[in-house]
Amino acid sequence: MSETAFVLVVDDEEAHAEAIAEGLKRAGHACRVVHNGADALASIQQRPPDVVVTDYKLGGEISGTDVLAETKRVSPETEVILITAYGNEDLARDVLRPSSAARAFDYIRKPIDLDELRTVVDRAARQAISSRETRAIRKQAEKAYDFEGIVGTSAVMARVIDRIKRIADSKLTVLVTGESGTGKELVAAAIHRNSPRKNKPMRVINCAGLNENLLESELFGHVKGSFTGAIVDRKGLFEAADGGTLFLDEVGDMPLAMQAKLLRALENGEITPVGSNDVRHVDVRVVAATKRELAEMVARGEFRDDLFYRLKQVMIRLPALRERREDIPILVEHFIGEANARHGKHVRGITPEALRRLSNQHWQGNVRELRSTIDSMVVLATGDVLDVDDLPDHVRGSTDIVLAGGLSTAGLSMSDMEKLHIANTLRLTGGNREKAAKILGIGARTLYRKLKEYDLS
């Protein structure tokens, strides 16, 4: 799907202006038409367009170059295309020079070839939207946070950080939930480093794939001779983390028999090594994590309810990356910096188009997958700015629809407003028509009819 841009057409010949607007609407753009420079300046002030197409000579005191200058003053990202009569090419070329105070994007000579005009407007729209996105990224970077490696700008992650800060000083057990790759261990480490236990050990164990006997030995230790291969006494992770923090990853995969032993350790601070009768006391703060729905497992009898309630004294849910897409630009920038340092590279950044494609991916593997992708892109990049050609094949070839950026709808007709709203909602849902129809509050058949009507399919 091509960019849907808002184009302001300025021409004192009404029939000529309407013909231009009609040709651009057929190309998928939303247009507003004015017939003099004063109305053009008022429209630009009211709502800066993506592209201005203006006659070089307008009736009245305000010329096309005046419209160009005011457009660039009010909205530097807006691109301006001049229409010139035969013999005015030299004047038009003057405002294309890099040294020009207000530089035009291009000019087209009368009589206008609509195909040529549509091509130039499409290029100008891409440039304008790209410039706007670049500015938005810069503004986003100004308000970005980086707390213990948790990077972003989204409100949902800001609330996660606030929760971490509030509970770090306590002894409460914390249950962190979220899909794989969302950063659950990062949260556990942030809790530890901001607690009074920060100078004591933090130990980590993944409960998935460990049978009961091995997990019990790992957590509580064993004594010499307690099983084949136990040639010496060995401390478990609870003792190794005494005074500090123990992170139990994928606690939902813990065998039921082990859950009772873990509950005793949490309730009384008592552990018994495998093969021993001696009870040992430890002071350990536990942070557990899971990608599973423990409440549903409790209902099915697959997880102890008493352990579940003991673990979730505080719950922190980490959203999937697709639920906080506004963080992706900042994360990409952060991961480029990490990859540069790790691999001795000097990549300066990423193009808006490449970033938009990354931002619109589903990211089943969440932040972990994004980080791995950027790492690979930086290593394989041939230039100092990552571009579409540097994207992995499955991202580069994506047909997902992406956001064109938030725009005011002031000055648009109702049909143009509807068209832009439908296009942006489709982009928001990654092209999912069922979700778009639900958000728009219309039936699927109605949406399909409007997609055909507005040539958005």
Name the residue ranges covered by the structural domains of the chain. 6-142, 155-318, 322-396, 414-453
Q: Say which residue, 247 or 445, is predicted with more confidence.
A: 247
Q: What is the pLDDT of residue 159?
A: 95
Any idea which residue has 């942030």 for tokens? 190
393 neighbors 380 (Cβ within 8 angstroms): no
**CA 61 to CA 66: how far, in whole Å?**
9
Q: Do strands 280-281 and 202-206 pair parallel, antiparallel, or not at all (unpaired)?
A: unpaired
Q: How far is CA 424 from the centre of its chain?
A: 16
Q: Which of 245, 246, 177, 248 is nearest to 207 (CA)?
A: 248
The whole-number average pLDDT for the span 106-117 is 89
Q: The whole model's pTM is what?
A: 0.65
Return the structure tokens found at 261. 């032993």
233 neighbors 189 (Cβ within 8 angstroms): no
**CA 38 to CA 60: how far, in whole Å?**
9
Q: What is the CATH number of domain 322-396?
A: 1.10.8.60
**CA 414 to CA 131: how far, in whole Å?**
27
Q: Say which residue, 352 or 330, is predicted with more confidence.
A: 330
Q: Which of 245, 238, 247 is nearest to 282 (CA)?
A: 238
Any idea which residue has 């309730």 for tokens? 267
Q: What is the pLDDT of residue 413?
A: 66
Q: What is the pLDDT of residue 412?
A: 59
The whole-number average pLDDT for the span 417-430 is 74
Q: What is the pLDDT of residue 407?
A: 42
327 neighbors 152 (Cβ within 8 angstroms): yes
Return the structure tokens found at 26. 């057929």
**435 CB-side CA count, 13 A:** 10
Q: Which helix (H) or strand (E) holds 334?
A: helix 328-343
Any idea which residue has 């099915």 for tokens? 300
Confidence of residue 310 (pLDDT cuts 50, 70, 90): very high
Vertex 28: Cα angle to 24 and 33 (nearest 5): 40
Confidence of residue 133 (pLDDT cuts 50, 70, 90): confident
| Mean pLDDT of the chain, nearest integer | 88
**CA 43 to CA 48: how far, in whole Å?**
7
**322-396 shares its CATH topology with 414-453:** no
Return the structure tokens found at 251. 């606690």
The whole-number average pLDDT for the span 221-232 is 80
Min mean pLDDT across 102-106, 158-162, 302-306 is at 102-106
Q: What is the pLDDT of residue 269?
A: 93
401, pLDDT greater than 60: no
Longest dimension (CA), the chain: 101
28 neighbors 455 (Cβ within 8 angstroms): yes
Q: What is the pLDDT of residue 140?
A: 66
Residue 350, SS3?
strand
**CA 91 to CA 298: how far, in whole Å?**
77
Return the structure tokens found at 73. 């003053």
Q: What is the pLDDT of residue 50?
A: 93
The whole-number average pLDDT for the span 424-429 is 72
**Residue 30, number of CB atoms within 10 A of its CB:** 26
Give burial (CB, 10 Å; 0-12/13-18/19+) of 102: middle
- Rounded to 10°, the helix 114-142/328-343 angle is 70
Q: Assign a CATH topology to domain 414-453.
A: Arc Repressor Mutant, subunit A (1.10.10)
The whole-number average pLDDT for the span 169-181 is 97
Q: Say which residue, 96 or 378, is predicted with more confidence.
A: 378
Residue 166, SS3?
helix
Any idea which residue has 């109702």 for tokens? 414
pLDDT over 70 percentage in the chain:
91
Return the structure tokens found at 355. 């970033």
Any idea which residue has 């990608």 for tokens? 291
Number of H helices, E strands in the chain: 19, 16
Q: What is the pLDDT of residue 411?
A: 52
The CATH superfamily holding the domain 6-142 is: Response regulator (3.40.50.2300)
Q: What is the pLDDT of residue 267?
A: 94
**DSSP codes, 261-299:** HHHHHHHH-EE--BT----EE---EEEEEESS-HHHHHH
Q: Say which residue, 406 or 84, is predicted with more confidence.
A: 84
**CA 107 to CA 337: how far, in whole Å?**
40
Confidence of residue 404 (pLDDT cuts 50, 70, 90): very low
Q: Assign a CATH topology to domain 155-318.
A: Rossmann fold (3.40.50)
- Residue 211 phi/psi, 5-degree rounding, is -75, 175
Q: What is the pLDDT of residue 405?
A: 41
Question: Which spans in 224-293 are helix H?
Answer: 237-240, 256-268
Q: What is the pLDDT of residue 399?
A: 44
**CA 369 to CA 371: how far, in whole Å?**
5
Residue 455: left if φ>0, alpha if ψ -120 to 50, beta else—which one?
A: left
Q: How far is CA 307 from the centre of its chain?
A: 35
The whole-number average pLDDT for the span 390-418 is 62
397, pLDDT greater than 70: no
402, pLDDT greater than 50: no
Confidence of residue 92 (pLDDT cuts 50, 70, 90): low
- Residue 15 phi/psi, 5-degree rounding, is -65, -40
